[in-house]
A = this chain, B = another copy of it.
Amino acid sequence: MNERDFLLALRELPLHPGAADLRDDTATLAGLTLTTDTIVEGIHFLPGDPPEDVAWKLLATNLSDLAAKGATPEGALLNYPLSDDAWDRAFLAGLDTALRQLACPLLGGDTVSLPSGAPRILTLTAIGRDAAAPPRSAARAGDALWVTGTIGDAGAGLAIEQGEDGPAELLAAYRRPQPRLAEGRALAPLVHAMMDVSDGLLIDAARMAGASGIAVAIDLAAVPLSDACRAFRGDGRAARMAAATAGDDYQLLFAAAPDFAPPVAATRIGDFAAGAGLTLADAGEAIPLPSRLGFEHAI
């Protein structure tokens, strides 16, 4: 089954009220925020990736979902496939660093053995507390669309990982994404809707608009690029389109009233209006949507 059909089928099962009909990246229970992600060797990471970076990314991407709810990490459960000594020890070293730097202690987990030759599949479940929990579905017509930080650095980093020449700073943005926990806590009580940018700015913005039942317009010229990304890719329309459709940014995308003054570094990139769908402009000139808005996933 594809993800969409599977998700639709899951919605027919007995659901907990805290599942919010499986329409968001997190669940809520007893004041806690729960999120879980599985990553697969050969799909989400490559066999040659440093195990330390795999550990970082596994924790950081889960914590990014907590950041989008304004939650503070409380603990994590790890489901781990045992393999060779060197890989496992390097993973543990990376996990130690990630748990310490991201202030999220380990709560428990499970280990398994895999059949010979099977790709590694790792799952982490993160639990947060004190969420203000803006949903992704409450953007309003008239709201402005904002994004924290810069967009496209991780996409450029992936190109560098795949062989292009480029600075370590961009590669690090891909391998060691930073969950925007402090920004999330500051923004969550103030904004109407928020989510993290994991699959691409355009696709995630379209999802926020779709979940909210309204339309969104983005101006590519407003999308914030880092100096390093501009030096790597240039600053033209193609470079901006590449940035806006690459995944793995883990910045926060949010909708707020038109007069909103964000308490953290963020850039206004568009507007919500009555209607449906995503429209694009470049410095005010309407341009067609690209054939691919980002990476397609379901829950």
Query: Which residues of A are in contact with B by a Cβ distance under 8 Å?
Result: 1-3, 6-7, 9-10, 12-16, 18-19, 22, 26-27, 29-32, 34-44, 74-75, 77-85, 88-89, 92, 95-96, 99-100, 105-115, 118-119, 121, 123, 125, 127, 129, 297-299
Among B12, B79, B99, contact of A38 (Cβ-Cβ < 8 Å): B79
Shortest C-beta distance, A251 to chain B (Å), equals 21
> By CB atoms of chain B within 10 A, which of A7, A14, A18 has the most?
A14
Q: With A15-B106, A16-B75, A77-B125 in contact, do A43 and B112 touch (Cβ < 8 Å)?
A: yes
Shortest C-beta distance, A266 to chain B (Å), equals 28
Chain B residues, Cβ within 8 Å of A115: 40-43, 119
Chain B residues, Cβ within 8 Å of A31: 30
Q: Quick check: B92 and A9 within 8 Å, CB to CB?
A: yes
Chain B residues, Cβ within 8 Å of A9: 88-89, 92
Q: Quick check: B30 and A107 within 8 Å, CB to CB?
A: no
Tell me the nearest residue of chain B to A84, going by C-beta: B1
A46 to B268: give the CA distance in the assembly, Å: 53
Q: Quick check: B110 and A119 within 8 Å, CB to CB?
A: no
Chain B residues, Cβ within 8 Å of A127: 29, 34
Q: Quick check: B121 and A16 within 8 Å, CB to CB?
A: no
> By CB atoms of chain B within 10 A, which of A2, A105, A107 has the most?
A107
